[in-house]
Structure formats: C-alpha cells, structure tokens
Structure 1
C-alpha cells in the first residue's frame, strides 16, 4: 500500500542535498573554472609581481604612467602559482611574491627558502657558521670562443676566502644537520664570482648564507621547495656542455658559433680592377693593338672565359665585360661595352665596371670634346651610371 500524502507534507519544501564543495584544481571543469576566476582576480591586482599582472605599466621618474602593455601570459602564470600554493598549503599571494621567473624557469627567493625551513616545524631555526680562511689566489679555467675557434683561458683571482655552512637541529631525533660547505673559492671556480654584476664581490657573506640555505633545503626538505632552485642559483649557475663549452647569462655557445659562421659566410669583396693601357700604334694611328687582359683583374674565384661574343646564352661575365672595356679603341666600342654591364647580376661588380668605364671614357674622349657626350649605339640600352 502506498503512504497517504497529507496536505502538510505537500506544502513542506523539499529537502535539497548539499552542493558538493568545489576546490581549485585541474580535476574537473568546475574546479578548473574556479581556479581561473581566482587567477583572474589576482592578475588584476597591483600587489603581485609584473609576471602575473594583466597590464604592465612603465612609470617615468615622477611616478606617472608613460607606457602600458598587456601581458598575455598573466592568467596562465597566476594559475600555475595558485596550483603550487594549493599543493604546498601556502598563501597564494605569498607564493607569487617569492616565485621568480629566470630564463623561463621558476625559482624561489632565498628568503622564502629560509622561511619555509624555519616554519615547517621539523627543524630548529636555521643557523649559519662562517669562517675566514685568509687571502689566496684561485685559478679558474674558462673556455672562450674567438673567431669561431675554441680556446681555454686560465684566469687568476685574488680573494679573501671564507667558508660557510647552514645547520639546524632535527626536532624528532635531536641530530644536528649541516649543509655542504660553500666558500668564496668555490664561487670563483663555479663562475659565480666573476660574472658581471655579481653580488659575490660586494655581499659575499649574504650570498654564502643564501647558497648554503638553498643546499640545506634541497637535501633535508626537498618537498618544501618542490624541486625548484633559488633565484640566486638560477642567475649564477653556468650550464656546461659535453664538449667543454659553457653558457653564460642568455648568450649560448650556439649563438656565438652562429655569429662566427655568419661572418665567414659573407662574400669576399672583389679585387680592384687595374686598368691596362693599350699598346702604342705600330703602323696606322687609327689601328691600335689589342692589349692582353690579365686574369688578376677579375674578383677572386671568378673563372676565366672567352670574350663577350663567346659568352653564349649564359650572358657575359665580369671578365668578359672588363676585357671589352679595356680593349675598346673608340667611344663607340666603349659604349657597347658599357651596355653589357647591366646584364651582370652582382651589383658590386656593376659598380666596379662602371668606374672602369668612366676612366676609359676620359682617356678616349678628344681634348676638345666633352667626355660625357659619347656617340650612342642604338642596338643596346645604356646603363644610367
């Protein structure tokens, strides 16, 4: 039998089930949408670093906005920061303030690493022991590239050496835990000390503490750092390659090699064409002996060919046109040789031959006739130069 429905029961509102709690994440569409909404809110704030802002503003010396541009990566960067904050159980704004992007790789600030170790509850507050070792000269071997060739250079640096370790006591066992020792000598040999703008030369004790704190966190609390290095390490560490070369800052060895290849690939400048004087007349003043043309007049690597009449369908070459210019015995012949210049594809060769043609025109022009008005031949156009 079915239960009797009373009027009171029908009027009573239906009990609704509680909506499931949605948390930020990538698991469901609702959680992903919630994360994007939170990231959009933070990206609109001016309290987050520039890498997470929707609009990056550039101020002048008076604090006024003189330029602004949109940041297309702001929302994506904020989503990544929110995901890391959720996995670590930390405040999202605190993560954004201490997470830096160096060459596309996220890195923690050293202050964050020290605070994370001190606040995790597993260790006593982090402490540092620094000991001065005295003055010494340290040699560093560097690989440099000059004109596409690799060479090894040994540099000597005089330093006041110091060594530092970071230590803390594990609360559960009472054991003293120490980081690897870091010294100024190590900084020189690793290339941290000699980089342009390096803080190792001006703030050596601070950098020693930062580096040992980073090493301590990587060894004893890697889950706090999530596998990330400190921002100082990202700026200092030199990437070594299997061939012994290394990368400094943002300039890679491949870029250095590419510059050398580009310089080597540039075409050689053509040799200057040396004008040859025609031989003196033997029998008749109107007939001049044809001078021999030296193959050295052509640019380096230019093969020797016959005269312009034998050039065939391939067209005249630099050597052919140069020979016609030097062997011209009248202004009419010179004008014909000048008409061949425009058929050459190389602009440098054209300019060189035009200079030769100008000198030959001055030589062949009569004293009482201007050299700039030679007789034109109608069978071929004339180069405007």
Structure 2
C-alpha cells in the first residue's frame, strides 16, 4: 500500500470518566468552541454526556447542544437530523403558507401526526413582533415551533426528552429556586378623612347621575388608596338609589 494512503482517523470520544474530565478541561480552554463552553468544563462534560446518549460525537454535541436559561437543549436543525436518521422515522414534511407553518411526521407503524404554528398562535404567546428573530424571520420561527411540537411529541425517545433551543429562547427565565420566603404583610391603607368624604359626596353624586361612574367603581377606586368605614361604604352605595329616585321623579 502506498505511503500516501489515508490513515484511519482517530476518535475523540472519551472512553472513561478520567478521559472525559481531561477532554472537557482541554476543550473549555479553546477559543473556537461556543461561548457557553469556554472556561466551563462542566458544561462541556454535560454536552458530551448528552451527545453520547443522542448518538452525537463530542464536537457535534458542542455545536448542536446549547445552554438556554441554564438548560441543555438542541438546535432545531439537529433535532430534525436526529429524527430523520432514526429507523423509527418514515418521513418529515414541512411547509408554510405565509401564515401557518405545518409539520407532518410519521413514525413507523403509526398514523401520520400533524402539528401547526400560526401567526395567531404567535400573537397569543406574545411572540409576534417580538424584538429579535420573531420580527426578522417570522417564517423561520414558525417553522421551528411547528417542528418542535411534532418531533418532540412523536419521537421523545429519539430526542431523549431534550427541549428545543428555539423554544427555550422564547421562555422567560425560571425564577431562582431557594428557601421559601415569608409572605409580606399587606400594607395598611390610611382611613378616608370623614370631612373630605362629606365634601366629596355631591361631586360623586353628580358623577353617578351623569353616568360617568357607578357606586361600585367609585368604591373600588377609593379602596385602592384608602380604608373605608362601613358607614362610608353604605353611603357610597346609596348614591345609586338617589340616582334612581331622581330619574323616577324627572323622567
């Protein structure tokens, strides 16, 4: 055989935990790895482990597994690549009519499943027009959402329960979990001055008569700032009766 023959390539897949730890430490020092892994050997180790369970080589794992809101997740293109390479998948078809993205998938031995994501769905979720990809590439983002719903529902075993990065990017950061905090005591509102109350009654009565307010709305507004006595509440509610009497006397 010629000396120029191509030699068999070597694998960077760690064979034991010691190799994995050293490998993760070396990779974390490289500037060409994604920023989520730079100087973070722990993240590298987690990505390698997830990659091994998904059938990805270490470098593939680091390129396709992202840490979003503290959780490892797969980019959408890696998701569809893993599913299509699985013998369990018959097909994955995607299309978009300009308003709704549709993903049709079929698992061997099962009926076809269809998932959609429309701009109406995006508006309902507070995503439409959101600064970033949703305002720049809405068609692509609809596609990613429909794809994520379909593939996670039909092939959870292939994806090992991994979330999709594009979804997590639109999810608010989870609140930090810590010791339960004692509920703060509600603030005590000041009492409404009786003299001022008496002086305001004619004004409130006119507002009710003119249809600009109601006793219930008036009471709710005052109680958002003050503590009302039972007598004050009763007199506010009687404003409606006075209005009714005035209306009856002067049709």
What TM-score, normalized to structure 2? 0.58
Contact 2:100 2:117 in 1 (8 A): yes
Q: Can you give the 5+ residue segments of structure 1 that lack an aligned partner in the other structure?
A: 1-22, 26-30, 55-73, 133-161, 238-248, 253-260, 265-385
Determine which structure has greater relative contact order: mean sequence separation of CA pairs < 8 Å that are 6+ residues apart, divided by chain length: 2
**Greater per-residue strand proportion:** 1
Query: Within the alignment, does 1:181 sit opposite 2:116 as a pair?
Result: yes
Q: CA deviation at 1:121?
A: 2.7
1:116 to 82, 89, 103: 82
Q: CA deviation at 1:90?
A: 1.4
1:37 to 22, 40, 48: 22
Q: Matches of 1:251 and 1:75 in 2, distance apart?
A: 23
Map of 1:206 onto structure 2: 140
Contact 1:102 1:234 in 2 (8 A): yes
Q: Matches of 1:100 and 1:116 in 2, distance apart?
A: 16
Q: CA deviation at 1:250?
A: 5.3
CA shift digits 1:28-67 (9 cap, x unpaired): xxx322220221232233332112123xxxxxxxxxxxxx
**Greater per-residue helix proportion:** 2
Q: CA deviation at 1:195?
A: 2.6
Q: Matches of 2:118 and 2:72 in 1, distance apart?
A: 26
CA shift digits 1:282-323 (9 cap, x unpaired): xxxxxxxxxxxxxxxxxxxxxxxxxxxxxxxxxxxxxxxxxx
**Alignment coverage as a number of residue pairs:** 165
Q: Matches of 1:232 and 1:87 in 2, distance apart?
A: 21
Q: Matches of 2:152 and 2:72 in 1, distance apart?
A: 15
Structure with max Cα Rg? 1
2:102 to 165, 176, 181: 165
Q: Matches of 1:195 and 1:250 in 2, distance apart?
A: 16
Where 1:201 maps in the other structure, the secondary structure is helix
Q: CA deviation at 1:178?
A: 2.5
Q: CA deviation at 1:251?
A: 9.9
Q: Matches of 1:169 and 1:88 in 2, distance apart?
A: 20
Q: Matches of 1:89 and 1:114 in 2, distance apart?
A: 14
Q: Matches of 2:149 and 2:128 in 1, distance apart?
A: 18
2:92 to 108, 116, 126: 126
Matching of residues 1-385 of structure 1 within 5 Å: 31-54=16-39, 74-132=40-98, 162-170=99-107, 172-173=108-109, 177-197=112-132, 199-237=133-171, 249=172
Where 1:126 maps in the other structure, the secondary structure is strand
CA RMSD of superposed structures (Å): 2.6
